[in-house]
């Protein structure tokens, strides 16, 4: 009997190693695809993880297989964050804090990762489709709760918020120098969706950019 127990422990080691290597490859894929895009050399993922190419192909025979797992991990983290947003007493404040996080995230590698992985179409993976729907449902529920609270305008919708987010993504592509413009855009977003005008309540958005600055940024993003 003691020998059987010893054999079981020894046999579990390869499984633990495989799970650890798989997790390392997913984390490395997230880093590589986030900084270099989905067309980055596939073997660079193995190098980033400190593993061999053979190990990479053993766990993920194709690039698409790894992309799906990286996307699943990224969306899973977002889903956990959204789940925590629904159990709060002040939906409006939570919405504001979440949108601030979204705007800030646009200036990190996470934006590049999300944009790169967005090429994965619906219908390719059922679990991914479910997570995507859950993320949107969570945001709709948060907006509805803020409306019921009387803080979110009835004639504004989640899609209006997403328009501002898309504009901020475009600003983020210009780099850190666009941060002040992003801060102003964020304040304009809140002014647009809030039932309480923020002008006059002591909150003042950053100064608007000069016309020359606007033209320069527009040309840079074209």
pLDDT digits (tens, 9 = 90+) for 85-130: 665 688 999 899 889 988 998 888 665 666 666 666 777 777 778 8
- Average pLDDT of the chain is 80
Orientation of helix 63-85 relative to helix 2-36, angle to 10° = 90
Q: Does residue 94 share a domain with residue 26? A: no
- Rounded Cα distance between 200 and 206, Å, is 14
Q: Does residue 175 share a domain with residue 110? A: yes
pLDDT computed for residue 60 by the predictor:
94
CA angle, 187 then 188 then 191, to 5°: 90
In a domain, 70, yes or no: no
Contact 142, 91 (CB under 8 A): yes
pLDDT computed for residue 185 by the predictor:
94
In a domain, 68, yes or no: no
CA angle, 134 then 172 then 112, to 5°: 55
Q: Which token pair is 96?
A: 């504001």
Q: Does residue 116 share a domain with residue 90? A: yes
Q: Does residue 116 share a domain with residue 37? A: no
Q: Does residue 180 share a domain with residue 111? A: yes
Q: Does residue 215 share a domain with residue 119? A: yes
In a domain, 196, yes or no: yes
The pLDDT-based confidence of 31 (bands split at 50, 70, 90) is confident
Q: Does residue 131 share a domain with residue 89? A: yes
Q: Does residue 148 share a domain with residue 83? A: yes
- Residue 170's nearest CA partner among 160, 181, 155, 156 is 181
The DSSP code for 207 is P
At residue 149, does pLDDT exceed 90? Answer: yes
Segment 194-198 shows an average pLDDT of 80
In a domain, 98, yes or no: yes
Q: Does residue 43 share a domain with residue 127? A: no
* pLDDT tens-digit readout, 40-71: 899 999 999 999 999 999 999 998 889 888 88
Q: Does residue 143 share a domain with residue 193? A: yes
pTM, rounded to two decimals = 0.68
Number of independent structural domains in the chain: 2
Q: Round to the nearest angstrom and report the end-to-end CA distance of the chain.
A: 72
pLDDT computed for residue 111 by the predictor:
59
The domain boundary, picked from 28, 61, 94, lies at 61
Q: Does residue 86 share a domain with residue 42? A: no
Q: Does residue 87 share a domain with residue 1? A: no
Residue range of the domain that includes 210: 75-221
């Amino acid at each position: 009997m003691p020998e059987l127990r010893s054999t079981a422990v020894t046999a579990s080691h390869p499984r633990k190693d495989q799970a650890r290597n798989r997790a390392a490859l997913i984390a490395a894929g997230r880093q590589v695809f986030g900084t270099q895009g989905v067309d980055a050399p596939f073997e660079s993922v193995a190098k980033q993880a400190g593993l061999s190419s053979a190990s990479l192909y053993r766990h993920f025979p194709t690039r698409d297989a790894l992309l799906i797992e990286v996307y699943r991990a990224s969306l899973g983290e977002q889903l956990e964050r959204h789940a925590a947003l629904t159990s709060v007493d002040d939906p409006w404040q939570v919405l504001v804090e979440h949108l601030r996080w979204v705007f800030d995230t646009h200036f990190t590698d996470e934006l590049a990762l999300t944009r790169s992985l967005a090429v994965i179409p619906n219908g390719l993976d059922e679990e991914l489709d479910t997570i995507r729907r859950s993320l949107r449902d969570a945001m709709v529920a948060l907006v509805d709760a803020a409306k019921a609270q009387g803080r979110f305008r009835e004639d504004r919708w989640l899609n209006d918020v997403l328009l501002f987010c898309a504009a901020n993504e475009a600003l983020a592509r210009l780099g850190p120098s666009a941060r002040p413009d992003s801060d102003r855009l964020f304040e304009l977003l809140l002014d647009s969706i809030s039932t309480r005008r923020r002008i006059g309540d002591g909150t003042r958005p950053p100064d608007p950019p000069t016309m020359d600055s606007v033209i320069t940024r527009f040309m840079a993003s074209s």
